[in-house]
Amino acid sequence: MPILQIRQAIRDAMKEEMERDERVFLMGEEVGYYNGAYKASEGLLDLFGERRVIDTPITETGFAGLGIGAAMCGLRPIIEFMTFNFSAVAFDQILNNAAKLRHMTGGQFGVPIVFRGPNAAAHMLGSTHSQAFEHFYAQIPGLKVVCVATPYDAKGLLKTAIRDDNPVLFMESELMYSVKGEVPEGEYLIPIGQADIKRPGDHVTVITWGQGVPVSLKAAELAAADGISCEVIDLRSIRPLDEAAIIQSVKKTNRAVAVFHGWPYGGVGGEIVARIQDLAFDDLDAPVGRVCYEDVPMPYAENLENLIIPSPERAYEAIKRVLYKKA
């Protein structure tokens, strides 16, 4: 089975879907002649030409709106943000047009569009380029939100997202584009809304997604050295949420920790805690733990940034706390 980087898996997914369906096109800053800011669209301009691989000016609200209009007219755009931090400029287009047009037109218009790009903190990019936007978009009915952590998941979920008749926010990571993994050569799709158990275990359920996945797996290794068995669940899909997978695991382990990029106040982590409390309260032997950003803007200095973002060590400490082991 071929070994690909996440950037290559994303590129292959777009290539295959563009070959399969002539309505699919890619648009964004530097996606064509520069092959994408992180080389995720390498070679696509040569294969499909300027009509289907479109370089744009630095105008996120403009090309997001163009993509939504194209989707309303029957095309299937892939809109790349150089970073999801820049999607804030296009927030009105996503919130009030992409998410709501099917509802407001009584189903007369669909918006089959994918917004994709890197999300959350990278390395020393400062407070304006280090935000985790799944927490913003997961609140909005009418959108689907996907966060990927492996090449296999990236390809299978992106192909599914492109074929979806609803707007999908597809979130990647600058720090994970080079992550390698096995990817089947043949056609495969991964359903949106289906979590994946990345590591089975019995003592603690660790719920995570995106950049939190490698952190959680390393924390599970630390825990295993101490005789603690962690079940690591990669949600993959934030909206819709695989509630059943979470609750089934918590009913088995009786303890849970959420590990994610993002601030503690509100957001997806708080939603997960609320659902566990609502659906598995009697199964819990300890309060649900959370490991996330500190509640401050992201600093630029490397030593301070490392204190803010989740680490395997911080996750391991949270795992020990829910087991009432001395931290």
Strand, helix or coil for residue 323: coil
Name the nearest CA neighbour of 244 among 281, 275, 283: 275
Q: Are 114 and 172 in contact (CB under 8 A)?
A: no
Structure tokens at 222: 């630390």
Q: Output the pLDDT for position 245.
A: 98
Alpha helices, DSSP H only, in 94-242?
101-104, 134-137, 151-163, 212-225
Judge whether 206 and 219 are in contact, CB under 8 Å. yes
Give me the pLDDT at residue 1, please. 87
Domains of the chain: 3-182 (3.40.50.970), 196-322 (3.40.50.920)
pLDDT reported for residue 327: 59
* Residues involved in catalysis: 60, 129
Torsion, Cα of 323, 292, 96, 145 (10° steps): -60
CA 111 to chain centre: 20
Residues 6+ apart with CB under 8 A from 109: 72, 101, 102
What is the value of pTM for the model shown? 0.97
Backbone angles phi, psi at 4, to 5 degrees: -125, 155
Q: Which residues of the chain have pLDDT under 70?
A: 327
pLDDT digits (tens, 9 = 90+) for 315-325: 999 999 999 98
Question: By 3-state DSSP, what share of the chain in percent is helix, strand and coil, each rounded to 5?
Answer: 40, 15, 40
Question: Do 169 and 144 meet the contact criterion of CB atoms below 8 Å apart?
Answer: yes
CA 119 → CA 72, 124, 170, distances in Å?
Answer: 26, 14, 9
- The pLDDT score that the predictor gives to residue 24 is 98
